[in-house]
Amino acid sequence: MEYIVIIIAAIFVNNIVLHQFLGICPFLGVSSRVSTSVGMSGAVMFVMTLATTVTWLIQTYILEPYSLMFLQTIAFILIIASLVQMVEIILKKVSPPLYQALGIFLPLITTNCAILGVALLTIQYDYSLLEGVVFAIANAIGFGLALLLFSGIREHLDLMDVPKGMRGVPIALVAAGILAMAFMGFAGLV
């Protein structure tokens, strides 16, 4: 039951993009086409789950027992950066088609604050390893959902007659605001 609560809360109520404001850069950057959003969401889900697992293990078995908590930020970002590199190399070797699909998004992910954000939140909420993994997957789904919805909206926005000054990013941000308003309807669900 508590896993279902975590999942619903992460996807709808506290949506990572529209409520927590993590991963805004890829949200605005790659959301102009539906196909690229799918690739990006896939890559994020992969790395987010892996990164949360590894950072949780490092936090619990190395940083906490030896009171190295002040190294948390440095340790986590290095883990994520090397993890992304490793995933890229392994994918290239093991599954070229998957690499073709996700490859160009992987380098962008190191500076995607959603990954580091979810890793830090998992520690902050005192989740167990399994809860952390569920939380990461749910957040990745939430990210994918927001990205997909938004890229659909942006494809339509291209065809709209928008006032000159508002074209491009400004109108996209206002549309994102309205989407965030729609997601507020889920508040109180859990």
Partner 1 sequence: MNQLQNFTKGFLKDNAVFVQFLGLCPTLAVTTSAINGLGMGLATTFVLLMSNLVVSLIKNLIPEKVRIPSFIVIIASFVTITDLVMAGYAPALHEQLGIFIPLIVVNCLVLGRAEAFASRRGTGSAVVDGLGMGLGFALALTILGGVREILGSGSIFGISFISGDGVLLFILPPGAFIVLGYLIAVVNKMNKTT
Interaction site with partner 1 (CB under 8 A): 18-25, 28, 70-74, 76-78, 81, 110-113, 116-117, 120-121, 124, 165-166, 169-174, 176-178, 180-181, 184
Helix spans in the chain (H): 2-8, 24-29, 34-58, 72-94, 96-102, 106-109, 113-124, 129-157, 169-184
User: What's the closest the beta carbon of residue 4 comes to partner 1, in angstroms?
Assistant: 24
CB nearer to partner 1: pick between 28 and 98: 28
- Whether residue 153 contacts residue 177, with contact meaning beta carbons closer than 8 Å, is answered with no
CB nearer to partner 1: pick between 67 and 124: 124
With CA atoms as reference, report the closest residue to 115 among 62, 54, 173, 172.
54
Q: What is the DSSP letter of 109?
A: H
CB nearer to partner 1: pick between 148 and 180: 180
User: What's the closest the beta carbon of residue 77 comes to partner 1, in angstroms?
Assistant: 5
Q: Which residues contact 104 (CB under 8 A, 6 or more apart)?
A: 39
What one-letter code names the amino acid at 5? V
CB nearer to partner 1: pick between 68 and 101: 68
User: What's the closest the beta carbon of residue 118 comes to partner 1, in angstroms?
Assistant: 10
User: What's the closest the beta carbon of residue 106 comes to partner 1, in angstroms?
Assistant: 14
Residue in this structure with the two tokens 């994520």, named with its chain if needed: 80
